[in-house]
Structure 1
Amino acid sequence: MVAASSLLALPLLATAVAAYNASQHQLNPVQLIGANSPWFSGPSQGIPYVVPEGCTVDTAAFVSRHASRYPDLAAWQQWTNLSAKIDAATFTVSESAPELKFLETWKPVVRTPSQDISAINVGGYKELQVQYDMGVTYRYRYPDFYTDNSPFIAWANQYPAAPRVIDSARLFTRGYMGPNATRSGEVYVLNSTDPRGYANSLGTGDGCSTIHGGSGVESTTWDNTYLPPITARINSLLKGNLTFTNTDITNMPYLCGMETPILGYQSPWCAVFTDDELEGYEYAQDIKYYYGGGPGSYKNGTVMLPVLNSVIQRFQDGPNKTYTSSDGSKFQPPPLSAMFTNDGQINQLVSQIGVFDDQAPLPTTYIPAGNKYVASHFVPMRGTIGFERLTCSAKHYMRITLNDVVYAVPSCKSGPGQSCPLDTYAALIANKTAAAGTFPQICNISSTGATQAELTMKSTFLQDDALPWGYFVSP
């Protein structure tokens, strides 16, 4: 978050309006759209992303969001409602606001909604190449992890609304393995809506009646703070009977982020706002995720502790461990555990990994200086939480990255490159797990068709490739 002072509220927005020049953005608009931004590597946290001297990375894991997509049905309806409102109005645009001229002819850019809604988008076909590139990047990053033509497995959440998570895992695997991926690669898809997978999947909140995705009063308070000056400014540039509401305005940055990868160039909606106004929207995303499923959401985020505990177990066991699956077969997972899921799960997980343990509650009437909890930096399209086991002189350490940027755990950064000793990190997460309670308690589960052994706070899918609620697809 870039801010000229410790506060970004109505007075600062008013100053920004007075100085507005639509062609002079100092920031990249599509990097200020929170979860609706295309992927980008976030700003440095002051820790170089190099392997510390005397160390090697011998085990790694990541949990990544899917690639860019078309809008879901609810968002599409908002787009079409906005388009219908503009079409029904008679208006002209002020000569001082050429950036708004596109409103006279704008139509939603989804061409075939019956086929495209919720799927990876047309501009995302290009971003599918990003998934290939992501796979190649990890081959370069960990050159000793994979030998050509050997087997490899990735993991994916079976998101019921669309196949975009599975498709992202498939395309990553192709980039990672190369031409023979379809012959020797597999994507292990986990059904989180099967009661037996409630605590043992990549969508561990899907069976929880206690989980909610909204942030309620916190979002409403911030919306009532930052939106009215923007709405007033834009309406002042229109002559006629077209008058936008605050709700209309909240859809416009969303359109900036979502239209850009569909079009293949920056959406005209991106030029409508000043930098400060876009930062106001970005902070709305921060509040949504912080209070919806993040650190400020009571126990919502704790539902991903089973997955985190499984990663820690994998790191404690080391890269060469062979496990016995539930059907009695032997399973040796690769040194890289590549997992794909959705934004809600990324946000829930990021709230528990420790890097935001020193984050003060987000205020709802201004943007605090130095805010670290910025949704754009970890939950955009293809947002990625990375884990690495550093081995240094036979000692093991945990290093964490968000979108390829190293973040320290504030209470545990004594290791090389501000990493955390693995045993200390395991103890830290064990304490979080104990404080959270049992999975049935967190999710208010009394009877599900799953045994208590299947509802523990440690997932086993990284160590067991024969779970009956999982299945394999080819890359």
Structure 2
Amino acid sequence: MHFGNIIPASILINQYTEHFVSPIHADQNNLLKHLGGMGPYVKGTGFGLCPELEWNAKPEKVFIFARHGERYPTEPVAKRLKAVFDKLKNADVKKQEGPLSFIKDWEFFIPGPDWCGMETLYGDFNGFQTMFDFGKSIQLKYGYLYKDCDEKLPIFTAGKRRCVDSAEEFGKGFFNDNDEKYNAQAKVIVLDETKRMGADTLTTSVSCKKYIRHGEYYKHPFIGKYMISEAKRLNTLSPGFNITAKDVYALAVFCAYELDAVGESRVCDALSLNTFVELEYFRDSEMWYEKAAHPYSFALGSVYVDAMIKLFEEQETKENLFFSFTHDTELLHFMNALGIFEYQKEDLSTRNIDFLRFFKTSELVPMGARIVIERYTINKEHYIRVLINDAVIPIPECQNGPFFTCKLTKLNHIVSEKMKGNNFVDKCRITEERPQELTFYWDWRERC
């Protein structure tokens, strides 16, 4: 049974509700906006553009490129969280008081090692529910594009279990939890996350050996300052735990994943919102240099964008809805190739927090992130519109169409020009025995 993502009353009356969005708090005070892509899904702020067009035009095709739903931390992160948990739990503190007074009753939220990296099942922000609700919302908005007939509805997914779970739950939501319809009409196509997939994949970052070798591009990491002060504050108000700035960082990450897994977290309540603002920038600067603005990022994302353009160029196709589920890294590469990061005029500072930056991982790739691209035909010309996490984001280099849309032919020209000398196959040296192009959107029936 599926329940709505409603924040329970116990949270609403809790002190740390100041961190959650509410009618009396500005969006900037929403904790979910500062969890660096590790926390639950949250809608994008955008630029104030209406998600619905001002007249009755409806898209004829929709392409969705989404991240999996909320998950447990991967094993390396889980080990770091367990280390700070054990340190605080085993501290010899006779009187536990202040922000950390909950430690005596504190429980670790990961049931066991087998749960690491898996989609979360419980709590108000669980990944299964997020993806089910996503599917349901897409059916309500674009369901008219799927003809209820014998034709299967393909749902493409990367091979990790959390991505497959997301694709399946999305499909169940799309078919309104009707198991008979889902089993009869949905077809989940799983694409391996291996190098042998070449360009025919939803994980080009795995296929590209050169990209993997070119890692660690983030040579001068951001060094935070506020977490040092936060550690002093906690040690003053809750003496005896000997909290360090490193512990504060781990606790902030703990908060994000505990929300994903349980739906609430007393750790969130113990930390100041400024701590999460700094956490977010730690994550943003790391993801900017190692993923989003990486020298190989455009080439990796161009595979997906080029496929989307080709699908949208076709006048008639058997499908008008294209659903894909993968990882946050792939979404960042997609946005790079689409030109979204042109809004970020300069590389992120590693000396101080750039408060005016466009690139914020919580805005762009929270758990359950989704890029929705709509194709319209206006005066016999095709135009596209981009929504990232439900917020309309015009393409910086291409927004002169009606309602800040982008003419498809212009986007094709922009991307094609950038791909010259920077295409995936050449840059990543994909050998001839591996797929040289992405074809699964067209030949998926042959693979079933």
The answer to whether the 8 Å contact 1:198/1:205 transfers is: no
Partner of 1:427: 413
Following superposition, the deviation at residue 169 of structure 1 comes to 0.5
Cα pair 2:84 2:251 within 8 Å, conserved = no
What pairs with 1:56-75 in structure 2 (closer than 5 Å)?
A: 56-75=58-77
**Structure 1 residues 201, 52: closer, same or farther in 2, change over 3 A?**
farther
- Matched residue, 1:251: 250
Q: How does 1:68-467 map to 2 (within 5 A)?
A: 68-91=70-93, 97=98, 99-111=99-111, 113-123=112-122, 126-150=126-150, 151-159=152-160, 163-178=161-176, 179=178, 180-195=181-196, 197-212=197-212, 216-218=218-220, 220=221, 222-240=222-240, 242-264=241-263, 266-295=264-293, 297-318=294-315, 320-321=316-317, 332=318, 334-359=319-344, 360-436=346-422, 438-445=423-430, 447=431, 449-450=433-434, 454-456=435-437, 459-465=438-444
Q: Please state how far the C-alpha of 1:52 moved relative to its aligned partner.
A: 4.3
CA deviations over 1:193-232 (Å, ceiling 9, x no partner): 152x2211100110222335656334x3x23444323333
- Could you tell me how far apart the structure 1 residues matched to 2:432 and 2:40 are? 37
The CA distance in 2 between the partners of 1:340 and 1:415, in whole Å, is 29
Give the paired residue count.
418
Deviation at 1:393, TM superposition (A): 2.1
Secondary structure, aligned partner of 1:142: helix
Q: C-alpha distance in 2, partners of 1:351/1:57?
A: 24
Q: Are residues 23 and 171 of structure 1, via their aligned partners in 2, closer, same or farther at CA, if it must alter by over 3 Å?
A: closer
How far apart are the structure 2 equivalents of 1:226 and 1:352? 34
Inter-CA distance 214–149: structure 2 relative to 1 (3 Å threshold):
farther
Shift of 1:312: 0.6
Report the TM-score, using the length of structure 2 for normalisation. 0.86
Return the letter of the residue paired with 1:351: N
8 Å CA contact 1:51–1:57 kept in 2: the answer is: no
- Whether the 8 Å CA contact 2:121–2:128 is kept in 1: the answer is no
- Report the Cα distance in structure 1 between the residues aligned to 2:233 and 2:209, rounded to whole angstroms: 42
Query: How far off its partner does 1:38 sit?
Result: 0.6
Moved more, 415-424 or 142-151: 142-151
**Residue identity in the other structure for 1:260:** L
Unaligned stretches of 5+ residues in structure 2: 1-14, 20-24
Deviations 1:387-412 (Å, cap 9, x if unpaired)? 11121122111111110111011221
Q: Is the 8 A contact 1:398 1:419 kept in 2?
A: yes
- Aligned residue type for 1:355: I
Distance, in Å, in 2 between the alignment partners of 1:398 and 1:408 is 9
Counterpart of 1:16 in structure 2 is none
Aligned-pair distance for 1:440? 4.0
**C-alpha deviations, 1:305-364, integer Å up to 9, x for none?**
11110001000113x23xxxxxxxxxx3x2110100011111221222112213121112
By relative contact order (CA 8 Å, sep 6+), the higher-ranking structure is 1
Residue type of the partner of 1:245?
T
Give CA deviations for 1:252-283 in whole Å, capped at 9, x if unaligned.
1211111113223x211111222222111111
Measured in 2, the distance between the counterparts of 1:336 and 1:439 equals 25
Flag the 1:109–1:22 CA change in 2: closer, same or farther, 3 A.
Answer: closer
Q: Percent of counterpart pairs with the same letter?
A: 22
CA RMSD of aligned residues (A): 2.3
User: 2:82 and 2:433 mapped to 1: Cα distance?
Assistant: 42
Gaps of 5+ in 1: 1-20, 322-331
Q: Which has the higher helix share?
A: 2
CA contact (8 A) 1:157 1:203 kept: yes
The code of the aligned residue for 1:61 comes to: F
Deviations 1:104-127 (A, max 9, x none): 33231122x143222112326954
| Counterpart residue type for residue 406 of structure 2 | C
Structure 2 partner of 1:38:
40
